[in-house]
Chains A and B, each alone.
Chain A
């Protein structure tokens, strides 16, 4: 794509011109903090876009890479005095690259894999539920556990932990297994919102057939998408919110303690995008013996781990994660607890790169051995 169609940028044009070029966005941009050049900071990208809009839409070749290297972590919006939603600008542009069929290699491959196997890894569709013991779908159950692609194929220990824990306390819910489709989040990122909506329709159809009212997801990306892009006829919860409800209602009790200094890592999709900050912390604090630590920059100020670039720029993603691991070690943490499989996987790679020995676990993985069993 050589030129920008400014008519398709109308929704974000005021944001583009509202940028003051103050550079506050750079403070919270992990990609900029690592690479250090303006073309990879929201300010630089906006300057390039403004110039394109003023020169008959001609865009430099390198803008594409710069746009797809945005983590969509939204920290820049928190830092920005004008609260400019840069991720929205990036997505508007990504839509144009997608329409022009001019995607970088990583996103193009991801799109192809989702079309074929309904997951971004190209793993066989039929094996989506291979991690779990065979279970039947029960129509009419109020709750559904949405597992997501990353957890289904890779971070399966998280899913097994959740299922074990809920089965141990006798909680009834459905899991779609092979009938679950990708939630659509990766396609939104690529700029293929039409493709994402098709996936959403397929999933919604299933939810309706089963009569689902509440969906809980352990993947923060799935949770964000379920919360913001799916019909609000279903209640979308992150698994930490859901488990915290069970703790509050007395259905989930911890019979053992965990004497550890745990630092909670605020993922961007559960945090800034969905504004869920307290429930994961409350859940961790409800475990006897846990000492909860905080990052220097936490909640809406938290720095992204770089996870969204895991597939397309693995080295950069790992370097960013290494910074987050070092920060946790500096605070004296023994365990980094995440609420998103992508954060967990990427932080583990970061720890390896930083040559640091520290336990990195998704919150549900910490719980099964501590839960008081209550089998009906």
Chain B
């Protein structure tokens, strides 16, 4: 075809990088860094629709640079230099978590690890795979499936989530977890870059130090995962009209160690019917389970499942299969009905599930809401609680933001906890872990990252004092209009003043 117009220069070439940060650009090379205003804004966000005013009130500094390293050596150089200059580094994977872990709240540099996405080695004989941590889970799962192999545990958000992101945020719930345990169980080794730039290769036990550390202790760059031969599988789907029956069945099914265990409550099934023409029974609980094994084992499981679910209505096996095939399609098509979705995740023991569901129904009675769940290990469930709102209706939206206080409290009351801490839940640290554990975690952080450059003001550092957050949340719940007005005024205050104010009242800013 005829040449029509000249090529346009690589868009990320930008001479405006501050001299102190130019070294980062040299390390990653042309085309692998950006100061584009759209990028700087996008890399300051994650899944949660947090209003910009609120982040400003948190004393957020804007990131100055996004870099995409191409290998562990580059990450090492970046951290060594950042450590010398005390420049904050926020590691980022797919950006599909909602707890603010990837928000560069202290400014500095965002370390986008998605450029490190190679499968280094698949060892079918030893059943291991070595991957770079910016690879996404769906790609790895599909590559392995093509070779007759399977992962042991992976996230349902695997189309976006990266290996490092899932491990960094704990990997506590997902596909394969009810059978094989949390994602950390399948880690044989991690290659991690520490704050001073040193590269360590962990053994399976040391790996736990970095799993769930949300990028505050080191940057996970490579992982060696255990894998398994792809097994035969059968899927089942049942609807229960009584919540109690559904929960009883769920608990018994979990004991059979399914590879995949998922449920929808009435609200979530209704949402899917409305937005997706899903033709589901709007039952109190709809359970989908997938089991793996030999034909003989599966025949035995099938009999047990039938007996456990005798009070439920069985869906045809192809409908259940379809749910399994769609396991990566996080079922949030109904977000359109909002169109803003408030999402909270809590983890609970089975025995408190019914009580928590009733409390959720009471707390969310003013909303259109629903619950989906991915079963975790050790008899617990991870609930994904959805409430619809519309961020364009600011008053309604600010009220909905207060669910960030209400829903975790339901979790705590029911022997549960939140799923992930990062920025938004760090305020609840004292409820999540005993004081001694928090102190130990803070000591570890100081030891690993004495200059506090790695994802600062997250996880073990309570950025905004709890009392202030509690009062703000209460105000959002009761007088959202006033809170909105207050926050919109805050943005006229200089950042420095806000940050000094937060420090005075005990906030842990860098």
A358 within 8 A of B: no
A57 within 8 A of B: no
**Chain B contacts for A154, CB-based, 8 A:** 1-2
Q: How far is the CB of A37 from chain B (nearest CB, A)?
A: 5
Using known A-B contacts A38-B42, A39-B36, A296-B142, determine if residue A81 contacts B160 with beta carbons closer than 8 Å: no
Stretch at the interface among B203-211, B296-304, B324-332, B377-385: B324-332
**Chain A contacts for B336, CB-based, 8 A:** 14, 18, 82
1/0 per residue, CB under 8 A from A, across B79-121: the answer is 0000000000000001110000000000000001011000000
A292 within 8 A of B: no
**Chain A contacts for B38, CB-based, 8 A:** 38-39, 44-45, 47-48, 60, 62-63, 66
Q: How far is the CB of B103 from chain A (nearest CB, A)?
A: 12
Q: How far is the CB of B448 from chain A (nearest CB, A)?
A: 28
Stretch at the interface among A134-142, A170-178, A224-232, A307-315: A307-315
Most chain B CB atoms below 10 A, which of A21, A35, A313, A315: A21
**Chain B contacts for A106, CB-based, 8 A:** 4-5, 8
B66 within 8 A of A: yes
Q: With the chains together, A106 CA to B4 CA distance in Å?
A: 7
**Chain A contacts for B367, CB-based, 8 A:** none
**Chain A contacts for B46, CB-based, 8 A:** 21
Q: How far is the CB of A55 from chain B (nearest CB, A)?
A: 9
**Chain B contacts for A296, CB-based, 8 A:** 142, 146
**Chain B contacts for A37, CB-based, 8 A:** 12, 34, 36, 39, 66, 68, 112
Q: Is A82's CB under 8 angstroms from B332's CB?
A: yes
**Chain A contacts for B96, CB-based, 8 A:** 22-23
Q: Is B340's CB under 8 angstroms from A121's CB?
A: no
B47 within 8 A of A: yes
Q: With the chains together, A14 CA to B43 CA distance in Å?
A: 23
Q: How far is the CB of A146 from chain B (nearest CB, A)?
A: 18
B322 within 8 A of A: no
**Chain A contacts for B15, CB-based, 8 A:** none
B11 within 8 A of A: yes
A345 within 8 A of B: yes
A115 within 8 A of B: no
B6 within 8 A of A: yes
**Chain B contacts for A18, CB-based, 8 A:** 335-336, 338-339
Q: With the chains together, A66 CA to B32 CA distance in Å?
A: 17
Using known A-B contacts A22-B330, A83-B333, determine if residue A312 contacts B4 with beta carbons closer than 8 Å: yes
Q: With the chains together, A51 CA to B40 CA distance in Å?
A: 13
Q: Is B5's CB under 8 angstroms from A311's CB?
A: yes
Consensus secondary structure, chain A interface: helix
**Chain A contacts for B3, CB-based, 8 A:** 311, 314
Q: With the chains together, A315 CA to B335 CA distance in Å?
A: 38
B426 within 8 A of A: no
Q: Is A23's CB under 8 angstroms from B39's CB?
A: no
Pick the contact of B136: A27, A123, A311, A312 (CB < 8 A).
Answer: A27
Chain A residue nearest to B336 (CB atoms) is A18
**Chain A contacts for B16, CB-based, 8 A:** none
Q: Is B332's CB under 8 angstroms from A20's CB?
A: yes
Q: With the chains together, A227 CA to B392 CA distance in Å?
A: 37
Consensus secondary structure, chain B interface: loop
Q: With the chains together, A44 CA to B38 CA distance in Å?
A: 7
In B4-56, which residues have CB < 8 Å from any A CB?
Answer: 4-8, 11-12, 31-32, 34, 36-39, 41-43, 45-47, 49, 52
In A99-157, which residues have CB < 8 Å from any B CB?
Answer: 104-106, 109-110, 113, 120-123, 150, 153-155
**Chain A contacts for B449, CB-based, 8 A:** none
1/0 per residue, CB under 8 A from B, across A14-28: the answer is 100110111110110
Q: How far is the CB of A140 from chain B (nearest CB, A)?
A: 34
Pick the contact of B6: A26, A66, A105 (CB < 8 A).
Answer: A105
Q: With the chains together, A82 CA to B5 CA distance in Å?
A: 36
Chain B residue nearest to A66 (CB atoms) is B38
Q: With the chains together, A76 CA to B288 CA distance in Å?
A: 27
B391 within 8 A of A: yes
Chain A residue nearest to B48 (CB atoms) is A21
**Chain B contacts for A62, CB-based, 8 A:** 11, 36-38
Q: With the chains together, A44 CA to B36 CA distance in Å?
A: 12
1/0 per residue, CB under 8 A from B, across A44-85: the answer is 110110010010000010110110000000000001011100
1/0 per residue, CB under 8 A from B, across A149-169: the answer is 010011100000000000000
**Chain B contacts for A122, CB-based, 8 A:** 2, 4
- 16 more A-B contacts (CB under 8 A) besides A35-B11, A110-B5? A17-B339, A17-B392, A18-B335, A23-B160, A24-B159, A24-B330, A38-B95, A39-B34, A60-B37, A62-B38, A66-B38, A81-B332, A113-B4, A121-B1, A311-B3, A341-B1
8 A-B pairs with C-beta separation under 8 A: A35-B31, A37-B36, A38-B38, A62-B36, A105-B5, A106-B8, A153-B2, A315-B7
Using CB atoms and an 8 Å cutoff, list the residues of chain B in contact with chain A.
1-8, 11-12, 31-32, 34, 36-39, 41-43, 45-47, 49, 52, 66, 68, 94-96, 112, 114-115, 136, 138-139, 142, 146, 157, 159-160, 329-333, 335-336, 338-341, 390-392
Using CB atoms and an 8 Å cutoff, list the residues of chain A in contact with chain B.
14, 17-18, 20-24, 26-27, 35-39, 43-45, 47-48, 51, 54, 60, 62-63, 65-66, 79, 81-83, 104-106, 109-110, 113, 120-123, 150, 153-155, 296, 310-315, 341-342, 345
